[in-house]
Amino acid sequence: MAERAKAFLASLSDEQRASARRPFDAPERTNWSYVRGNRAGLFLRDMTAAQKALALDLMKSGLSEEGIERVRIIRAIEEANGNEEKARNAPITYGEDLYAIFIFGEPSEDPAAAPWGWRAEGHHIGLHFSSVAGDVTSTPLFFGAFPASLALGADKGARPLSSLQEAAFALRRSLSDEQMKRATVGATCPADVLTGPGREAALKDPATFGGIAMADLTQAQRDLLWALVVRHASDLRGDLASEELRRIKAAGLEAIRFGFIGEPALDKPHYYRVGGPTFVIEFDCTQGNPDHVHCLWNDPARNFGGDVLREHVEREHR
C-alpha cells in the first residue's frame, strides 16, 4: 500500500501533488461524503492515463478481487449515467472519473513511522485507509449504486451489491415470526443509512442498535449471520479482512445483532443492519422505487485510525 501511494505521488506534477496531499491531521481526513458534487482532492479526470492507473492500483491495494469488481461496476453505472446526461445536454454530475484521491501524511512501510493514510471518494464509493504504528484501519467503507444494476454494455444486468442483499435475505427468510418481531428495527425503512458522515457512531450501543442477537438464533441461522458478516468483510484485501473478522470474534460472536425492515426482495424497499462491539454495517434499498442502494461499514472506535491513533499518541507523545 505504501509503495503504491509513493508511486502515485511520484507521478504527479507539483500542482497535482498540492491537490492530492494533506498532513495526516488535516480536517479533510474525517470530512467525507458519498453524494455527487465537487470535493477536495485530485480527481481521476484530472490525471493522465498513467497517473490514473497508479491511482487505481492504490485502490486495489486495500481491496480484494471482489471489492475491486464492485468498484468497477459502480464506476460503469456512474459512466452510463454521465452519458445519459450528455445526451440530454444536461450538466455532468456522473462519471467514472469523478473520484478524488487524497494522501494524508508520508506513506511508509515502517511501523515506527508517523501515521499516514489515503482516501478515494466520490459518488457511491468511499475508501478510507489509515496506517498507525503498523496497524491498518479500513473504515468508513462505503459502496452504493443507482440504478442498482447496470443497464448497458457487456456487463448489462450486473448488480454490484446484490450478493450482500441475497445473503441478508437468506437470513431474514429463515426467521420465525417471533424472531422477526425481535429483529425488526423500525416501523418503516429509513430514507438512508443512519451512520453516514458525521453520524458514524449513531448505532454503536446495543440499546440503540436493536435487532435480534446471534445468541437467540438457531445454529443454522447463526451460520447465515456469520456468512453475511464474512461477505461484507470480503471486500477487503485478504489479510485486512481476516484481521477485521478476528477482532469481531474476539469481541464475542454472541453479541452480534441483526436488524431488518421491509421485504426480502430486490424490488421491494428493505433495510438491514448487522453489528457488534467492534462494527456496524448498514444496507438500505429504499429510494428510486426502490432502485438505489447504499452500504456502509463503520467501526466507531477505529474509523479514520480512531483508537489506534489515540493509543499511539498517548504512548509515543505522553
Q: 179 with 267, same domain?
A: yes
Q: For the packed helices 219-233 and 238-251, what is the interaxial angle rounded to 10 degrees?
A: 140
Q: Is the pLDDT of residue 87 over 60?
A: yes
Q: 107 with 222, same domain?
A: no
Tell me whether residue 103 is in a domain.
yes
| Rounded average pLDDT over 107-127 | 96
| Rounded average pLDDT over 59-87 | 98
Q: 130 with 198, same domain?
A: no
Tell me whether residue 28 is in a domain.
yes
The SS3 assignment for 182 reads helix
Q: 170 with 231, same domain?
A: yes
The SS3 assignment for 88 reads coil
So what's the pLDDT on residue 155? 95
So what's the pLDDT on residue 307? 63
> For the CA atoms of the chain, what is the radius of gyration?
20
Q: 220 with 109, same domain?
A: no
User: Alpha-carbon dihedral of residues 101, 107, 112, 115, nearest 10 degrees?
Assistant: -20
Q: Is the pLDDT of residue 31 over 70?
A: yes
- Model-level pTM? 0.95
So what's the pLDDT on residue 207? 84
Do 132 and 308 meet the contact criterion of CB atoms below 8 Å apart? yes
pLDDT confidence band for 310 (50 / 70 / 90): low
Do 300 and 278 meet the contact criterion of CB atoms below 8 Å apart? no
Convert the pLDDT of each residue in 5-16 to its tens digit. Answer: 999 999 999 999
Q: 254: number of CA atoms within 13 Å, CB side?
A: 2
CA 63 to mean position of chain CA atoms: 11
Q: Bridge partners of 99? A: 122
Q: 177 with 86, same domain?
A: no
Omega into 147 within 30° of 0, i.e. cis?
yes
Q: Which domain holds residue 280?
A: 162-301
Q: Is the pLDDT of residue 316 over 80?
A: no
Q: 90 with 177, same domain?
A: no
Tell me whether residue 37 is in a domain.
yes
pLDDT confidence band for 134 (50 / 70 / 90): confident
Return the C-alpha cell found at 9. Answer: 505521488
Q: 75 with 203, same domain?
A: no
Tell me whether residue 155 is in a domain.
no
So what's the pLDDT on residue 186? 95
Q: Is the pLDDT of residue 311 over 60?
A: no
Question: Cα(208)–Cα(192) distance, rounded to whole angstroms?
Answer: 17
Question: Cα(135)–Cα(102) distance, rounded to whole angstroms?
Answer: 19
Tell me whether residue 6 is in a domain.
yes
The total number of structural domains in the chain stands at 2
CA 272 to mean position of chain CA atoms: 15
Tell me whether residue 148 is in a domain.
no
Convert the pLDDT of each residue in 209-226 to its tens digit. Answer: 999 999 999 999 999 999
So what's the pLDDT on residue 318? 56
Tell me whether residue 146 is in a domain.
no
Q: Is the pLDDT of residue 309 over 80?
A: no
Q: Is the pLDDT of residue 312 over 60?
A: no
Q: 10 with 135, same domain?
A: yes
What integer best gives the mean pLDDT of the chain? 95
List Cα–Cα distances, 164 to 30, 77, 109, 123, 143, in angstroms. 26, 18, 33, 19, 11
Return the C-alpha cell found at 218. Answer: 438457531
Omega into 140 within 30° of 0, i.e. cis?
yes
So what's the pLDDT on residue 237? 97
Convert the pLDDT of each residue in 222-251 to its tens digit. Answer: 999 999 999 999 999 999 999 999 999 999
So what's the pLDDT on residue 315? 56
So what's the pLDDT on residue 306? 84
Question: Cα(82)–Cα(95) distance, rounded to whole angstroms?
Answer: 5
Return the C-alpha cell found at 48. Answer: 493522465
Number of residues written out for the chain: 318
Tell me whether residue 307 is in a domain.
no
Do 202 and 195 meet the contact criterion of CB atoms below 8 Å apart? yes
Q: 97 with 166, same domain?
A: no
